[in-house]
């Protein structure tokens, strides 16, 4: 839920590594528990998350990955 260039590393063999899984942890209230505050980086977040709607899973992550790829290809956001 927090995909952004700052959370990508490249190792010595040019493999891409994703870091910072802090927002991937299971909530204390269980998987049905919903946070009431926004988490992540707004520039890379799916529109429904910014609007305060429920996290819909992989669809929101795919949106973030698309924005991330755009930023990496263009050099800016």
Count other C-beta atoms under 10 Å from residue 7's C-beta. 16
pLDDT at 12: 96
Instruction: Identify the CATH number of the domain in which residue 9 sits.
Output: 1.10.510.10
pLDDT at 38: 64
What's the whole-model pTM score? 0.68
pLDDT at 40: 76
Overall number of domains in the chain: 1
Domain hosting 27: range is 5-74
Selecting among 2, 20, 32, 61, the annotated active-site residue is 2
Divide the 77 residues of the chain into consecutive groups of 10 and give the mean pLDDT of each group. 86 91 63 61 89 83 92 88
In the residue annotation, 2 being an active-site residue is answered as: yes
Torsion angles phi and psi, residue 16, rounded to 5: -80, 130
pLDDT at 30: 61
pLDDT at 36: 59
């Amino acid at each position: 839920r927090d995909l952004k260039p700052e959370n990508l590393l490249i190792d010595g063999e040019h493999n891409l590594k994703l870091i910072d899984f802090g927002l991937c942890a299971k909530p204390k209230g269980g998987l049905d528990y919903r946070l009431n505050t926004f988490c992540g980086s707004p520039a890379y977040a799916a529109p429904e998350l910014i609007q305060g709607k429920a996290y819909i899973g992989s669809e929101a992550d795919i949106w973030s990955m698309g924005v991330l790829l755009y930023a990496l290809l263009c050099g800016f956001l």
